[in-house]
A = this chain, B = another copy of it.
Amino acid sequence: MLLRMSSLFLRTLREDPADAEVPSHKLLVRAGYVRRAAAGIYSWLPLGKIALENVTRAVREEMDAIGAQEVLFPALLPREPYELTGRWTEYGDLLLRLKDRRGGDYLLGPTHEEMFTLMVKGEYSSYKDFPVILYQIQTKYRDEARPRSGILRGREFVMKDSYSFDLDDAGLQKSYDLHREAYIKIFDRLGFDYRIVSATSGAMGGSHSEEFLAPAPTGEDTFVSCAQCQYAANVEAVQTRLPQVEAAGEHPPVEVLDTPDTPTIEALVEFLGQPASAMLKNLLVKVTEGGVTSVVVVGVPADRDVDMDKLEAVLAPATVEIFEAEDFAARPDLVRGYVGPHALPGDVSYLADPRVAQGTAWVTGAGQVDKHARNVVAGRDFTVDRYVDVATMLPGDPCPRCGGPLSLQRGIEIGHIFQLGRKYTDAFQLDALGPDGKPGRVTMGSYGIGVSRIVAALAEQAHDDKGLIWPREVAPADVHIVATGKDNQIQVALDLAQRIEARGVRVLCDDRAGVSPGVKFTDAELIGVPTILIVGKGLAQGVVELRDRGSGQREDLPLEEAVDRVTGLVGRPS
């Protein structure tokens, strides 16, 4: 492959796009890889298409290597199968729905469990047919509420989704392990820094669901890891180790304090000079179940927040809404910023983090404006109706496995492997007749890789202030040849490009006439091909310059050695 900048459909930009918040979005637009078509919907320009194809190839090869078979489903899907599993409704606004000319209901597939299960049911029926792993690399749709972050979280995106079908749990575990190994190979090939974290709660870190996260400050997921025992999990999956309840001695009685203008924890911390960990943060929510809405207060130590996702999961199937200003207005007996568990109206129940253990004393609101109370003791001054594990985590929290201190990091989900079990095979009654002629319910795994997201996730990890720095497997070319001079440099560069390309190396050659060396260098750094070869002033002395985009290392070398050196760096068979 030899791309010439003089004809490549590419315009780099010097300014960040106005709507871009994260580095990958800024750089992929500026370097001419993608363009916005609508909110959360992107077009891929030639360089971007090549990078996307490089990721696709790596994913496909490793999936084929574990015996997975490639199929292709439509994106436009009928309602019925999704109605049967309840997902037509459960997906809510995330699902893009439409009607055809006859009024039939369709959706744009967000994921294809239903279709794969139906397909296997249509073809297979005997124990002899299993196991089977099927996959596709295909366009998916999710109507994100706030599509942002460019292609990191788009509304139309490319995914590899695969599904395993096994006769029993041992088979499922084997299919799961095959995927786990394949994913490790894929993400290693792609040059990722990644972690495999448990996505299932359980103190022992049950392996029936794991996520592959690429650490990045812009990641939407947070995960914990333990340096002591290698435990790693998405915070959503961590089961907090119940702290030892200190059977503390006597506490003084409740004392009400004047704390003018302290409706926030920050204000209170400053006013009292005490740490937030000694205070209670009391979050009010409306919980609706069976058509009845009640007010619930959730208390956590004030150096933490309530994780709304965890709270929703704990209270499901009830729905949870934040108590808004108008709700406070309707309940003058609940004073915003000064709520305390010992001063709650009788119809309000109190949930609390396990750290709010019996016998512990807290600073908390006193139920009146500008008043707080201290020495408010759980079990003595208020009752916890239910303990719930919904507090956000802090660095240093104890590892649920070994008790060692956990560290917290943000990451981008690039892969997810999941032992689904029989949810979908039950819904569609997918059975395999055993050797004894009796039907057995098939068990399933589902496994996803965000193919288009990977391009952005790599960009998040691999860039500097000058631009992108691609791992070679994903880079749109192996070497970027820059011809700078005015004389015969362009012709020499093109000759070199052809000779290097003849060795099986992918070359991008900046053969533009009338473009300054400065612009060409800036573009090369922005585009991020890992090896840069400069044909410039040194040519008069028969010298070209080799630069490593990542390390910045530079080296002059004789023109006649350039082909061998570049080919050797790339390590491709000629």
Contacts and interface: CB of A to CB of B under 8 A. Distances in A.
Interface of A: 7-11, 32, 35, 37-39, 41-46, 48-49, 52, 67, 69-78, 93, 96-98, 100-101, 104, 106, 108, 115, 119, 122-124, 132, 134, 139, 141, 143, 145, 155-156
Nearest to A99: B98
Nearest to A116: B43
Contacts of A74: 37-38, 41-43, 156
Contacts of A96: 76, 98, 100
A78 B37 contact: yes
A123 B76 contact: no
Contacts of A78: 37-38, 41
Which 7 A/B pairs are nearest by Cβ-Cβ distance?
A98-B98, A44-B72, A93-B101, A38-B78, A11-B123, A46-B69, A41-B74
A120 to B, nearest CB: 8
A43 B43 CA distance: 25
Contacts of A38: 74, 76-78, 104, 106
B9 A41 contact: no
A570 to B, nearest CB: 21
Contacts of A71: 9, 43-46, 49
Chain A interface mostly helix, strand, loop or mixed?
mixed
Contacts of A67: 7
A8 B67 CA distance: 10
19 contacts: A9-B134, A10-B123, A35-B119, A37-B77, A38-B76, A41-B77, A41-B78, A43-B73, A44-B71, A44-B73, A48-B72, A49-B70, A52-B72, A75-B156, A76-B155, A97-B98, A100-B155, A101-B143, A139-B139
Contact of A8 (B9, B69, B73, B139): B69
Given A43-B119, A45-B123, 7 more contacts: A37-B115, A38-B76, A41-B74, A43-B74, A74-B156, A75-B139, A98-B108
A154 to B, nearest CB: 9
A162 to B, nearest CB: 12
Contact of A73 (B37, B73, B76): B37
Specify how many copies of this chain sit in the oligomer: 2
Contacts of A122: 35
A327 to B, nearest CB: 24
B108 A145 contact: no
A77 to B, nearest CB: 7
A43 B145 contact: no
Contacts of A8: 69
A145 B38 CA distance: 29
A114 to B, nearest CB: 11
Interface centre among A8, A71, A141 (most CB of B within 10 A): A71
A69 B123 contact: no
Contacts of A72: 43-44, 48-49, 52
Nearest to A514: B128
A179 to B, nearest CB: 17
Contacts of A156: 74-76
Contacts of A10: 123
A11 B46 contact: no
A510 to B, nearest CB: 15
A49 B73 CA distance: 10
A445 B77 CA distance: 33
Interface centre among A48, A67, A75, A115 (most CB of B within 10 A): A75
A553 B35 CA distance: 55
Contacts of A43: 71-74, 115, 119
A67 B484 CA distance: 25
Contacts of A139: 75, 139
Nearest to A131: B7
Contacts of A97: 98
A70 B46 contact: yes
Interface centre among A7, A8, A9, A67 (most CB of B within 10 A): A9
A175 to B, nearest CB: 13
A72 B42 CA distance: 9
Nearest to A81: B37
A374 to B, nearest CB: 46
A9 B52 contact: no
Contacts of A37: 73-74, 77-78, 115
